[in-house]
Structure 1
Amino acid sequence: MLKNPDMAALSDAFILADSHKLVWAAVCLVSGCVLHESLSPSVLTIIIVVIGLCCGPSALRRQLTLCFCLFAVIAGLISSEAEIRRADHIMLAEPVTAELSGIVQTKIVRSSERLSLTLKDISSSEPRLAALHKVRFSIAADALSVLPGDKVRARVRLFPLSPPAFAGRPDYARNQFLSGLSATGFAYQAGLAEAQADKSWSMRLNRWRHQFAADLNAYMGPPYGGLAAALLVGVRDHIPAPVYDSFRASGLAHLLAISGLHMGLFCLSVLMVIRAGFACFPRLCQRWSPRRFAAVMALLCGFFYLLISGGPVSAIRAFVMAMIILLAVLADRPALTLRNLALAAFCLLLVSPSFVYAAGFQLSFVASFAIIAGLEIISTHSPANRVLHYVFFVLLTSALAGMVTIPFIAYHFGQFTL
């Protein structure tokens, strides 16, 4: 029976069975996101139209890979422009000193002496502050005891978002703008105006995270309670400064941020425990598919872990990657492939293209790419002995992940550890 060539071409366009094609399409998507920053709106429109016109002849000539890559560039440009328009809000133009009140959205202890608060729903008698979307300021840690959702009144000194110190440095002001911030500064004094003023489910969850971290630290004692809270709910406020500095100096500070390592271990543990439980009851294995049921439960548990972690970029990336891997298990497809990594990049960047500038996104994807690529080397050049195979796997993947992330660590943090 002859296959319809049009249907076959359409199938190839959507499936893209060759993983390298999808990887290059992901690279084109990243290029579109990065290219958007240097384009004016008029030039952006012209480029989208030109690339769109190129996609038509490419599709007609059955050059589907080229067509898909061009479409990925357009998707990166359009999604970046859409994100900028979604984040359109008033920015502070000059330094201002005034009183304001707002609801605490995030609370971070930057060190043992300073507390950083991000306020939303700003109200102030100063018109320039009343129109702002969100502000962030620091204050002495012992001057105020609040939780997310509380309403705070403070006298602050606010400044416009700072551009990069010099060309080539990360543009943190852009990331702050896209996150909704309008100004940053410090507070002379602050006080609690109303406890738990925001009772939305997201704020209640954020409040519970901080309360749980404080209770865990009180129960286990520092530094163990602070480390446990960082790994369980993503709150690093209770880690003593000397301990955190030791992690940073040794190059292990990334272990304190919930990322692929933590999400992978958690989901894999759920998967293994459920499959081991099924092995104890053979009759259940005849009625249910242990692998599929375990994959679904691991996916649900991973989503719960994402919620209680606060949803940082590294955790979102890890969950999307874990979700794609578990869906591959459900579909009886290879799980750990470059194609799945590229799909995870597509899912994240189409929703929030600014992730491409985040240190967590860059480090996570570069390290994951190196590890997955290293698996191909291991599969062909690994020793036959199982013990040597494991040692070779650990050493090679650690070396690859460390080497490829050094330039990104040096760029974002100004230092790296060998």
Structure 2
Amino acid sequence: MASDAKLPDSLPDYPEAGESGLDAALQQGHWRTWRGLSRGLDRIERFLAASGFDRAPWLAVAFGSGVSAWFFLDNKWQWLGLLCCCIALVAGTLASMRSDGRYPYLRQSLIWLPMLVAAGSIVVWSKSALVGATPIDRPVVAQFDAVILEREARPAEQRVRLVLAARNIGGEATAKVRVNLPQEDDRPELAAGAVISLKARLMPPAPPMLPGGYNFARTAWFEGLAATGSVIGPVTINAPSTSGGWLAGIQARLSEHVRERLPGSSGAIAAALASGDRGGIAEDDAQAMRDAGLAHLLSISGLHVSAVIAAAYFLALKLLALWPALALRVRLPLVAAGAGALAGIAYTLLTGAQVPTVRSCLGALLVLVAIAIGREALSLRILAVAAFFVLLAWPESIVGPSFQMSFAAVMTIIALGSSEASRRLLAPREEGMLSRGIRYVVALFATGLAIEIALMPIGLYHFHRAGAYGAFANVIAIPLTTIVSMPLIAIALFLDAAGLGAPAWWAAGKSIDFMLQMAHWVSSRPGAVTVLPAMGRGSFALFVAGGLWLALWTSRMRLLGLVPAAAGALSLVLLQPPDILVSGDGRHVALPQGDGRVIVLRETQSDYVRDNLTELSGSNGNLVPLREWDRARCNRDFCFAEIVRDGTSWTLLLSLGRDRVAERALAAACDRSDIVIADRWLPRSCRPRWLKADRRMLSRTGGIAIDLSTRSVDSVAAREGHHGWWRGRDD
């Protein structure tokens, strides 16, 4: 049928052959924006495809990021906001990106990474709600009955640590508490499972004394501890232990046997290597090992578990190979892997099955599985699987130094070993034994140096100090421990069954003595220890982001990780200590001077207080009482002090006593002061020119750090938010 419709005077330009209609449409009007977006998505997809994007490690990183975000964010509304953002991103990706195979890397990333972030946040939130124990309200002295759950001997501290299930503490029917018992009151009957009656002084688990300090309250929350304290007087045993604790008993007897055969510091370290019991190590030896970068040798971790598993694997492989009939019929590497797994599990149980040891054992078992099925023994994928399962079971470990250091060290080893330079250095070639030995020593030193660089930001963030010569010390200490000391201890224990272990014990003691002497020598060298004030979370996040980027990419794009790492290093160079540090109870005030001295309001014999004041001041421990400072005037009740910062003079009024002071005189003193700090409640008439940090304020904020140049105050409360373990806020 003919149509009367007229054709338009001009026809639109249609795309030529080879040009899609969609591309032509994108040339028109606002569609150009979508064309640009499409090109941007194409670039991202090509980048992911060309840069060696391996999903498994990044999925583990996403899960860990969700766990970390829960700790960083303040309250449940922010946690819910994070979950909503993740869900919205996944839903938006599913709605906007078709599953036609055009952007496979990008589409999977935008779906799975947010899902893993949300999953990590949910896991740690759920565990906090399930295992967290509300701490007691205030310090108490109580008489109560309890069942011993755990027992830990600490001979170096002259005490025994008991974890108890106590009845009628803090209004709870049953509460988990931890108490210290003097060594002279200890008895063999005080074993796990015994029912006892005791009197103890208990207090809530301590929050950080100052911003950036050790957070025992958080650790206690995830361990289910409601209180800690010390035993007063004798302990009555109502019912002896009848079941359980046999493994702990074996561990205790093994530790005692080792210390009997090898007394002194070397015996304490040998006991730690054999049974995981670190209670006998003297503090000066432990500090020397930390400052020399060798502290990882004192705790049963990946190095020790791997050494035991490797020894069992190779022994089983070589011994079974001597049986031709078996070697021809059975795949020996699989059998040897099973023997190594059993040895690793037994060693983990024997040394107490602490979280770091279990984590190391799990990683080593995954390596054995890879060997058994013919896969690469050590790879980022295996490390990612181990990290995922550890975080699934113990999500709180991600904010602790043990998890961060162990996984950072292994990740550094894998990344360095997979680099082209490392492969060229270790590639087999025709050469003499001397040349081969030099190459392996160079590789060992380079690995130690890389690990030291990777672990230094973690040490500075958590401990505010790090050893500078750890790479040199570890080149000697690691082979000495794994190849000499640990095998000699095992041989000595085996020979003790026939009473022939004395020579092996002597040799083991000499090897450990040499390591200790080296630790003390290295830690005493000039510049051996780097001390810095508390590092901010932002600086630490830059180091973490840079390290992950460097380790997880395989192309040259990994070098971009040097940018955030360099920014983090620059922030450390510019880091300055706070001008004033105030403890949460107001009793301890520190004024860092920048020349190594720290002016303190009160002298103290407490190592805990001294360590917090010096470490967070970035000082090596030269404390000077305020009364001896030439810029301070003190009487029995108060001290006046003057601080000059950036050309501005600040007047401080610091409380010393608890005696009653005339309100009018106090108000006049406050009027002449810029800052007032007191461990008492001050009347409203006390109005300093800028800040009043009295008991009323500090009970809400916890410890504070004051920066006078920026007029800013950092507090424990600001870092803890509304998590269950922080009790200083107003609810």
Q: Would you call these one fold, judging by a TM-score over 0.5? A: yes
Q: Pick one of 261, 265, 269 that aligns with 1:227.
A: 269
Q: 2:342 aligns with which of 282, 300, 315?
A: 300
- Structure 1 residue 82: Cα displacement: 1.5
Q: Cα deviation per residue 1:109-148 (whole Å; 9 max; x = unaligned)?
A: 5563442523322125xx5265352111224322323443
* Alpha-carbon spacing, 1:246–1:35, altered in 2? closer, same or farther (3 Å): closer
Aligned twin of 1:407: 457
Would the aligned equivalents of 1:136 and 1:181 in 2 still touch at CA under 8 Å?
A: yes
Q: SS of the counterpart of 2:156?
A: coil
Query: What is the CA–CA distance in structure 2 between the aligned matches of 1:220 and 1:372, rounded to whole Å?
Result: 37
Q: Aligned in 2, Cα 1:393/1:192: closer, same or farther, shift over 3 Å?
A: farther
Does the CA contact (< 8 Å) of 1:55 and 1:70 recur in 2? Answer: yes
Match 1:353 to one of 395, 417, 424? 395
Gap regions ≥5 residues in structure 1: 1-17
Out of 401-410 and 189-198, give the one that drifted further.
189-198
Per-residue CA shift, 1:270-300, capped at 9, x if unaligned?
A: 1111111132122212110011111122112
Query: CA shift at 1:348, angstroms?
Result: 0.4
- Contact 2:145/2:196, CA 8 A, preserved across alignment: yes
Of 446, 463, 466 in structure 2, the residue corresponding to residue 416 of structure 1 is 466
Say if 1:225 and 1:192 are closer, same or farther in 2 by CA, change over 3 A. Answer: farther
Partner of 2:89: 54
Shift of 1:220: 3.2
1:38-53 correspondence runs (5 A): 38-53=73-88
CA distance in 1, matches of 2:238, 2:262: 30
1:260 Cα offset (Å): 0.6
2:289 maps to 1:247: yes
Match of 1:161 in 2: 205
Structure 2 residue 232 is the aligned partner of structure 1 residue 182: no
- Work out whether 1:32 is the aligned partner of 2:82: no
Query: Partners of 2:436 and 2:240 in 1: how far apart?
Result: 56
8 A Cα contact 2:67 2:120, kept in partner:
yes
The answer to whether the 8 A contact 1:153-1:192 is kept is yes
Residue identity matched to 2:109: T
Contact 1:100 1:129 in 2 (8 A): no
Larger radius of gyration: 2
Shift of 1:171: 2.4
* CA distance in 2: counterparts of 1:205 and 1:195, whole angstroms: 20
Deviation at 1:89, TM superposition (A): 3.0
Is the CA contact (8 Å cut-off) linking 2:131 and 2:224 kept in structure 1?
yes
Distance 2:220 2:242 in 1: 23
Residues 57 and 388 of structure 1: CA distance in aligned 2, closer, same or farther (over 3 Å): farther
Structure 2 counterpart of 1:406, which letter?
A: M
For residues 171 and 268 of structure 2, the distance between their equivalents in structure 1, rounded to whole angstroms, comes to 35
C-alpha RMSD of matched pairs (Å): 2.4
Deviation of residue 74 (structure 1)? 1.4
Larger helix share, 1 or 2: 1
Q: Of 298, 304, 309, which residue of structure 2 is paired with 1:256?
A: 298
Q: Structure 1: which amino acid aligns with 2:68? A: V
Deviations 1:83-119 (A, max 9, x none): 1122143320111111123233333455634425233
Query: For 1:112, what is the secondary structure of its paired residue?
Result: helix
Residues 154 and 280 of structure 2 are in contact (CA less than 8 Å); yes or no, is this contact kept in structure 1? Answer: no
Distance 2:342 2:240 in 1: 29
- Report Cα offsets for 1:304-345 as digits up to 9, x if no partner: 111111112221121111011111112211111111111111
Letter in 1 for 2:261: Y
Do the aligned partners of residues 195 and 399 (structure 1) sit closer, same or farther apart at CA in structure 2, a change above 3 Å counting? farther
> Residue 478 of structure 2 aligns with which residue?
none
The CA distance in 1 between the partners of 2:113 and 2:397, in whole Å, is: 20
| Residue identity opposite 2:336 in structure 1 | A
User: Deviations for 1:167-187, whole angstroms, at most 9, x for unmatched residues?
Assistant: 333422111111010011222
Deviations 1:329-371 (A, max 9, x none): 1221111111111111101001110010222111101111111
Relative to structure 1, the CA distance from residue 43 to residue 239 in structure 2 (aligned partners, 3 Å threshold; closer, same or farther) is closer
Q: CA deviation at 1:267?
A: 0.5
For residues 277-288 of structure 1, what are the structure 2 equivalents within 5 Å? Answer: 277-288=319-330
Q: Does the CA contact (< 8 Å) of 2:165 and 2:177 recur in 1?
A: no
State the one-letter code of the partner of 2:436: R
Task: Check conservation: 1:214, 1:238, Cα contact below 8 A.
Answer: no
Q: Aligned equivalents of 2:109 and 2:335: distance in 1? A: 36
For 2:373, the aligned partner's letter is A
TM-aligned CA distance change 1:360 to 1:195, over 3 Å: farther
C-alpha distance in structure 2 between counterparts of 1:399 and 1:246, whole Å: 19
Distance 2:156 2:345 in 1: 32
- 2:143 aligned residue (99, 123, 128): 99
SS in 2 for 1:185: strand
Which residue in the other structure is 2:182 paired with?
Answer: 140
Task: Give me the whole-angstrom Cα distance separating, in 1, the residues matched to 2:239 and 2:278.
Answer: 23
Amino acid at match of 1:310: G
Q: Given the superposition, is the C-alpha separation of residues 131 and 216 from structure 1 closer, same or farther in structure 2, using an over 3 Å criterion?
A: same
1: CA distance, partners of 2:155 / 2:299: 16
Cα 1:49–1:246 change in 2 (3 A) is closer
Asked if 1:78 is matched to 2:122, the reply is: yes
Q: Partner letter of residue 418 of structure 2? A: E
Please tell me whether the aligned partners of residues 258 and 314 of structure 1 are also in contact (alpha carbons under 8 angstroms).
yes
5+ residue gaps, structure 2, are 1-51, 430-434, 469-731
Distance 1:248 1:189, change over 3 A: farther
Match of 1:7 in 2: none
Matched, 1:218 2:252: no
Structure 1 CA distance for aligned equivalents of residues 232 and 463 of structure 2: 29
Q: Return the offset for 1:245.
A: 4.2
Aligned to 1:398: 448
Cα distance in 2, alignment partners of residues 213 and 280 from structure 1: 35
**Separation in 2, partners of 1:243, 1:217:** 16
Report how far residue 164 of structure 1 moved. Answer: 1.5
Determine the C-alpha separation between the residues in 1 that align with 2:374 and 2:222: 39
Matched length = 397
Structure 1 pair 118/267, CA: closer, same or farther in 2 (3 Å)?
A: same
Q: Distance in 2 between matches of 1:209 and 1:19?
A: 45
1:188 to partner: Cα distance: 2.2
* TM-score, normalization by structure 1: 0.87
Distance of 1:188 and 1:173 partners within structure 2: 23
SS at match of 1:188: strand
For 1:308 and 1:402, how far apart are their aligned partners in 2?
30
User: Residue 3 of structure 1 corresponds to which residue in structure 2?
Assistant: none
Shift of 1:199: 1.4
2:359 maps to what in 1? 317
Q: CA deviation at 1:56?
A: 4.5
Deviations 1:211-259 (A, max 9, x none): 2211332233333433222112111223345544443443322211100
The residue type paired with residue 164 of structure 2 is: K
CA distance in 2, matches of 1:166, 1:346: 32
SS of 2:249's equivalent?
helix
Tell me the residue number matched to 2:404.
362
- Give the whole-Å Cα distance in 1 for the aligned partners of 2:120 and 2:406: 20
SS for the counterpart of 1:316 is: helix
Contact 2:144–2:167, Cα closer than 8 Å, also in 1: yes
